[in-house]
Structure 1
Amino acid sequence: MDDALQIPHLRATADLELRPWSLAAADLELVREASADDLIPITTVPATFSREAATRFVERQWQRATDRTGYPMVIVRRRDNTPLGSIGLWLKDIDEGRASLGYWVVRSARGHGVAAHALAAMAIWALEELHIPRLQLYVEPWNRASIRTAEKAGFECEGLLRSWQKVGNQRRDMFMYARLATRTLTEADRVS
């Protein structure tokens, strides 16, 4: 059997880092804040927080590495070790030369470029170190902040996928964004 994926520590900026999930109180508190956030509905974050549900959430993240289906990470502010959000690289379609990314940042950390810096760092790592030819992500059309995040991190919109994903009890449209390995990386791609 293959070994589990090794989740790295990635520096996104001088003050932001991506790291593996843990059962530390700060990571469980991040899950608590995300559980109460109505803008984080399409993830596996528990809708109702409990320590048990948060623990199961973190254990699911670990299982993704064990199953070799993805690299789930916490976005952390380094100066005070505060978790701000989550980002993941998902390998469901890796045999086709593509991987998906997903991210969320809790309300208390929004508006500071945290998601864009984390997304750019994860994309550069996936393209340069893992040599994945195509990265893609999906954004609901109403989510202007996430659209700006994707574009700031070097992703380009490729089109609207109608009724693409079920969110709650509804099918939702999604914009597909992609970033290709064939595109030359510049300093601007690393988000300033």
Structure 2
Amino acid sequence: MCTVIRILLALDGGLVRGALAFVLSAQPDIDVVAQVEPTADVWGRAEALQPDVAVVDMAAVGAGRRFPCRTLVLAAPREARALSAALRYQGHTCGFLGHQVAPDRIVAGVRRLAGGEPVADPELVVAALNRSNPLTDREMQVLQIAATGWPAKEIARELCLSPGTVRNYLSRALSKVGARTRIEAVRIARDAGWIWQ
């Protein structure tokens, strides 16, 4: 009798999520225990259900929170730079595949990740290496949280910084990406894949 891999899906788009759930559930060694929108409380669901692997997109990864299980992130090449930040939080328990890969590659990736093997899409690695990110880790972190619409005081409280320090990080980030406003800086950073949605 084989071990069953329990899966949590947190992907944008019900049709895509449902189709992938169908493919995964057809495997004798995989059980999809939940399907959620990436904007839902994915961490809470993962903590409650204790899946072996969460298959998520960048919107579900969030800023600075580690999933309580192995995580397979499906990402677009433009999001490749943001994968390094996700990897810092997830460590060796995280794998990456392009969001356009064939379903059988996702099935294989789930099995490899569940077995403790690394999963990395060569195209995403190349995309990450070919993009030069001018932002420091802290500037990316502040900009990522600013993308949620939080004011500087709230960002400061979240990161244990002073509001003035947060404003300085934001100002430097705007200057480095060539933006006039915080919203424009967030858009540029997202399009370049330096922060995720």
Output the TM-score relative to the length of structure 2: 0.29
Give 1 or 2: higher helix fraction: 2
Q: Which has the larger radius of gyration?
A: 2
Larger relative strand fraction:
1
TM-score using structure 1 length: 0.30
